[in-house]
């Protein structure tokens, strides 16, 4: 078996009214199930990004 890959979790939502709770839960579960991944709870980030620009509309 090869060396484990260090991974990070990146969660993204489109508005501030949404949460990443479900994404984080599912991705953390997956990361912990993979024997070839090395995941630390400290390596995650959340991004709130909207393509809506009020000046354009």
Mean pLDDT for 37-41 is: 84
Q: Output the average pLDDT for the chain.
A: 80
Residues 28, 44: Cα–Cα separation, whole Å: 9
Is 24 a domain residue?
yes
Q: 5 near 41, Cβ under 8 Å? A: no
* Phi/psi of residue 39, nearest 5 degrees: -120, 135
Percent of the chain with pLDDT over 90: 21
Is 43 a domain residue?
yes
Is 53 a domain residue?
no
Is 46 a residue whose pLDDT tops 50? yes
Is 32 a domain residue?
yes
Is 16 a domain residue?
yes
Output the CA torsion sign for 38, 40, 42, 44: positive
Q: Which of 7-11, 16-20, 27-31, 42-46 has the highest mean pLDDT?
A: 27-31
Is 35 a domain residue?
yes
Q: Is 50 a catalytic residue?
A: no
Instruction: Tell me which of 14, 44, 50, 54 is the catalytic residue.
Output: 14
Is 32 a residue whose pLDDT tops 60? yes
Is 39 a domain residue?
yes
What is the extent of the structural domain holding 34? 5-48
How many helices and strands (H and E) does the chain possess? 1, 2
């Amino acid at each position: 078996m090869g060396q484990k890959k260090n991974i990070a979790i990146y969660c993204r939502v489109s508005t501030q009214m949404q949460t990443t709770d479900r994404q984080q839960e599912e991705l953390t579960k997956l990361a912990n199930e993979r024997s070839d991944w090395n995941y630390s709870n400290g390596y995650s980030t959340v991004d709130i990004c909207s393509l809506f620009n009020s000046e354009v509309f």
